[in-house]
Amino acid sequence: MHYSYVMGISNEIHALKNSGFIIERFGSNYGVAFPKEKAYEWEQFIIKYLELGYWNEYLSDDGVIFLFHLEDGIKRYDVKDYNNDEVLSLCEKLCERKFKSIKDMLKENHYYSDKID
């Protein structure tokens, strides 16, 4: 399974349940689980809602996929072993905070904490 945590999205996310997505609510946010073959569908969905200056990530079988909405459009990064200095720098810049690593940043999220090795 692939996993994503989503903040600031409307109830339209529940429509994905009809396609085999598992949606779990956490206050006004959502945890989303989906099989590998639904990754493209997830990316297309989240890109529609991703505001400028924000990102979404999802845990895949062999890493983390990051989608950033930047001034010059959507940027997609496939990060292996939680190691990509450019992605870490973008995350730090957009949220104005420093992190030890991508892995540590993601582990701070309760939804990901037990899913990251």
- Whole-number pLDDT of residue 11: 86
Sign of CA dihedral 33, 94, 51, 40: negative
pLDDT bin (cut points 50, 70, 90) of residue 40 is: very high
pLDDT digits (tens, 9 = 90+) for 49-87: 999 999 999 999 999 999 999 999 999 999 999 999 999
Helices (H), ranges, 1-117: 39-49, 85-95, 102-107, 110-113
CA 67-72-77 angle, to 5 degrees, is 25
pLDDT at 8: 85
Instruction: Report pLDDT for 108.
Output: 94
- Residue 91 lies in domain: 2-113
Six token digits for residue 21: 């997505």
Tokens of 22: 């598992």
Nearest to 64 by CA among 46, 49, 76, 52: 76
Q: What is the pTM of this model?
A: 0.94
pLDDT tens for 2-15 read 999 999 888 899 99
Number of domains in the chain: 1
